[in-house]
Amino acid sequence: MGITRACGLVGISRSLFAYESKRTGDVALTERMKEMAALKRRYGYRRIHILLRREGWQTNHKRVWRLYSQAGLSVRKRRRKRIAPAERVVRPVATAANQSWSMDFVSDGLAYGRRFRCLNIVDDYTRECLAIEVDTSLPGLRVAQVLQRLAELRGLPKSITVDNGPEFAGRALDAWAYQVGVKLSFIRPGKPVENAYIESFNGKFRDECLNEHWFMSLRQAKSLIEDWRVEYNTERPHSALGYLTPEQFAQAHRQQRFLTLDSMSVPY
């Protein structure tokens, strides 16, 4: 029996009978995705896609999503606390780097039960994490010292958004802020939504760093947290920045600002 007649009997065309899949790279791509997902357990398919493109894989996000789903790599969603609806206050939006920062504390524990704190400081415009200070105690004087260190590295912003914790509302930080001319913008008590930039960062920090490690000592905690901070700034694609890293976004902003100033200085 000929091929044409056999295809007619089973109801398929000769072209379908002769079809061979051209998806020869799916196996290799899936294996690479599995390796990435094992290293970056809290990355979804969009960030995996960005990392693949950086490595030179010529594939679109739809193909990545298909293979990602088939391989069962979906990120397990952690249950979040239900937050009661709150009145939102419109705060000034930063339009340039180093214009306004946000800072807040996050707590965690070592393997043997001792608690430690992390002081997180973020640039509101570039989303760069400027510092994560880790210790068992971080009073207001220590906060001022961290900020002074950042001032020597990159200068200071016009304002820093904080909550009403005793470290931020105490005399030590208030005296420092007055001396250097920085405004401390306090949110209303019980309204963390007014400090959205740092709250968003804190969620990523806990999900991708604190919850992923079992800290045996304070020294280890400091090392792993600093490694994550560097990775966050230089490697992690940020969805709010068009999947650029904060460092790439900041660099692009500096280049654009330089070109703008250069064009303004050219005489007609």
pLDDT in tens, 132-144: 999 999 999 999 9
More confident residue, 18 or 95: 95
Higher pLDDT, 89 or 218: 218
Instruction: Output the average pLDDT for the chain.
Output: 88
Question: For residue 153, which phi and psi values (nearest 5 degrees)?
Answer: -85, -40
Q: What is the pLDDT at residue 268?
A: 46
Report the pLDDT value the prediction gives residue 262, as an integer from 0 to 100: 61
pLDDT-based confidence at 159, cuts 50/70/90? very high
pLDDT of residue 75: 81
Of 51-55, 82-86, 262-266, give the lowest mean pLDDT range. Answer: 82-86
Average pLDDT over residues 70-81: 76
pLDDT digits (tens, 9 = 90+) for 162-213: 999 999 999 999 999 999 999 999 999 888 889 999 999 999 999 999 999 9
Nearest CA to 62 out of 16, 96, 23 is that of: 23
Whether 130 has a pLDDT exceeding 80, the answer reads yes
pTM for this predicted structure: 0.78
Give the mean model confidence (pLDDT) for residues 110-121: 97
Residue 252 or residue 78, greater confidence: 252
Q: Which amino acid is at 159?
A: S
Residue 230 CA, chain-centre distance (Å), reads: 11
Distances (CA, A) of 55 to 45, 48, 226: 15, 11, 25
The rounded distance, in Å, linking the Cα atoms of 136 and 112 is 14
Output the pLDDT for position 86.
42
Measured CA to CA in angstroms, residue 84 lies from 38, 87, 117, 136 at distances of 35, 10, 26, 31
Q: Tell me how far apart the alpha carbons of residues 199 and 196 are, in angstroms, rounded to a whole number.
A: 5
Most confident range, picked from 10-14, 119-123, 194-198, 253-257: 119-123
Residue 81 has pLDDT above 60, yes or no: no
* pLDDT in the model for residue 209: 96
What proportion of the chain, given as a percentage, has pLDDT over 90?
Answer: 68
Average confidence (pLDDT) over 84-90: 48
How much is the average pLDDT of 100-128? 97
Amino acid letter for position 218: L
Q: Is the dihedral of CA 249, 88, 208, 206 positive or negative?
A: positive
Q: Which residues contact 88 (CB under 8 A, 6 or more apart)?
A: 193, 194
Q: Which fold has domain 100-237?
A: Nucleotidyltransferase; domain 5 (3.30.420)
Q: What is the mean pLDDT of residues 28-32?
A: 91
Q: How far apart are CA 232 and CA 225, in angstroms?
A: 10
